[in-house]
Structure 1
Amino acid sequence: MPEPSRLTPVAVMILATLREGDMHTYELVRLLKERRDDRLVPLQKGTIYHTVARLERDGLLAEVGVDRDGNRPERTTYTIREAGHRAVEEWVRAELPQIDRPSDFRVALSEAHNLDRAEVVDLLDARRALLLDSLDEHRAGLANAAERETPEQFLVELQRQSALLDAELAWQDSLRARLADRSLAWGIAEIPEHIKKKHRVSKETTP
């Protein structure tokens, strides 16, 4: 199985979607775009088809049938393999605590529900420590600049990043609290059945 870090965000999103049920590539493309997952990464049809083929070669998903509807081209249906399940979890586990790859973090966060609640809390705690270190560094830089009477016009980017880090910490602390006190439903098992049907969620993917 490929190293989790070598999986692209698109590959992770494809595998995570297949955790919900078997489907053909056309349905994958439609569902990912319907859910506006292209907010996170570019989702070109050709890239998705190429990635599905690579994931099959790597043993992370497998063909389970070929359908033909009238004169339409044949459509191959895929299922995720056990190695694919592990790959999603390991990639999210590796990327969720990071602060230096914002785009990958967004994908990891969107797929964090594939991990157990307690593990997500621990990973967010590890990320919080990195955020605090970065915030301290930015604040020290601003203080040093003030001592040197650096014109504020040269510091606006530093000020912005400090403000963003403050907001990120506040948001993450709120999320962690809701996970810890269980006020936030987490995992497929905690989603009401009528909501699962509405969003086409069909498999138990979280312990």
Structure 2
Amino acid sequence: MVDLGWVAWVLLAAAALVIGLSKTAVPGAGTIAVAIFAAVLPAKQSTGTILLLLIVADLFAVTLYRRHANWRALVRLVPAVIAGVLLGVVFLAFTDDWWVKRVIGVILLAVIVITLVRRRMQAVEQAGPNRVAAAAYGTLGGFTTMVANAAGPVMSMYFFAARFPVKEFLGTAAWFFFLVNLAKVPFSIGLGLITVPGLVIDLVLVRS
């Protein structure tokens, strides 16, 4: 059911390790894992397969920072994130692997640019998040996480603007991605993104 060579398994194992690090020690590194999964597996299947690994990693992050979330900030994002996720669902429902793979590539490149811009831009940080920012970042975050599981840098930029203490920043981000990723599971099953071969891959990677 899972016909992968040893090189592919090594790459997927490395990506799984990166996912764990991205949730607990190196935020933003998850984009590397997304790129590896999309390169090794069919694009749509890769999004569903990596989603389950992200949820496992989210459990560790939530356990570590479960008491430090800013729930007011999370609630403010709900409408925009839902809109973004639904846009992602529509996109995935009407596109094939060719388009999905290329859009994932564009998103990953955009994420790199956003990360670089975040290091140089002070205006957003000084202004702090507001309703417009919540709508923009929430929608973009919802779409990118549904299509490519790559909303980390986007949402980190929003949370960073709130100037949370370090633990509150980590806790808010941990709960955000845990809840959003769980909400994506029914859509991913309905779209056929989560497959039996993908589950086998996840089981092997989690146990290893």
Per the normalisation by structure 1, the TM-score is 0.31
Report the structure, 1 or 2, having the larger helix content.
2
Report the structure, 1 or 2, having the larger strand content.
1
Structure number, greater radius of gyration: 1
**Looking at both structures, which has the greater relative contact order when contacts are Cα pairs under 8 Å and sequence separation is at least 6?**
2
Per the normalisation by structure 2, the TM-score is 0.31
